[in-house]
Amino acid sequence: MASVLDSIPEEERRRVLSSARRRRFARREVVFHEGDPADSLHLIDKGRVAVRITTPLGDAATLAVLGRGEVVGEMAMLYDRGNRGATVVALEPTETLSISRDQFSELRDAYPGIDRFLVAAMAARIRRTDAHLVEALFIPVDRRLLRRLVALTEQYGHGGAGTEIPLTQDDLASLAGTSRATANRVLRDAEEAGVVRLRRGGVTVLQPEELARRAR
């Protein structure tokens, strides 16, 4: 599978995959909770997950939606002890390849090039965080939400018309760093223009090119 594992040689990649434990999660099942012991990472092989944190006000905020080839829990590989900084929830039936910290440490000792895997995973996280921070500071909220929809359209349907995004308006609001009321207004405007169709628990993108134009 195309993933951050592409950053390491084939032999080392096979060794990583052979040491992993396959885990299966139903829709809405928690992969791990914020505050749990951080003792493994998960490579997503099938499905998609949402990464969520609890805000100082006690609300849940969605930081990212990740899919096949991406990794969650990589911070656990950097510390001997610690707790999860976020909750990860399966948005659909999902399979991951779980690697414990001890397994990963052994692999790093045997194959120093595996450190490139960890660096690639961390770099992907930093790029994503930086991009969202710049948008939060300089991009109006309407466009931020539409940009999240554009990215999700690519993720769920490779940018095609009719792509169904199974995320609630609360999820979309969290991804854009805004309120549900604002998200609802933006989505209703897009629906009236024929760009999207709203449904219970999700959004269908009807005109991806127009959506992308509005998000610029």
Residue 71, Cα to own-chain centre: how many angstroms? 9
| Six-digit token string for 133 | 């921070």
Give CA angle at 21 (18, 26), nearest 5°: 140
Q: What is the pLDDT of residue 88?
A: 96
Q: What is the pairing mode between strands 94-100 and 87-90?
A: unpaired
Compute the average pLDDT of residues 153-159.
89
Q: What is the pLDDT of residue 14?
A: 84
- In the chain, where are the structural domains located? 4-136, 141-215
Q: pLDDT digits over 80-93, tens only?
A: 778 898 999 999 99
- How far lies 27's CA from each of 41, 47, 148, 154, in Å? 19, 9, 21, 21
Q: What is the pairing mode between strands 49-54 and 21-25?
A: unpaired
Q: How many alpha carbons lie under 13 Å from residue 99 in its C-beta half-sphere?
A: 28
Compute the average pLDDT of residues 147-166.
92
CB atoms inside a 10 Å sphere around CB 132:
19
CATH of domain 141-215: 1.10.10.10
| Six-digit token string for 165 | 């995004």
pTM of the model: 0.82
Q: Which of 11-20, 39-48, 154-163 shows the lowest per-residue confidence on average (mean pLDDT)?
A: 11-20
State how far the Cα of 91 lies from the Cα of 171, in Å rounded to an integer. Answer: 11
Q: Which of 22-26, 116-120, 126-130, 164-168 shows the lowest per-residue confidence on average (mean pLDDT)?
A: 116-120
Q: pLDDT digits over 115-142, tens only?
A: 887 888 888 888 888 887 888 788 899 9
Report whether CATH 2.30.110.10 matches the domain 4-136: no
Compute the average pLDDT of residues 27-33.
95
Residue 4, pLDDT above cutoff 80: no
| 3-state SS assignment for residue 33 | coil
Q: What is the pLDDT of residue 7?
A: 65
Please answer whether residues 25 and 92 qualify as being in contact, where contact means their C-beta atoms are separated by less than 8 angstroms: no
Q: What is the pLDDT of residue 1?
A: 47
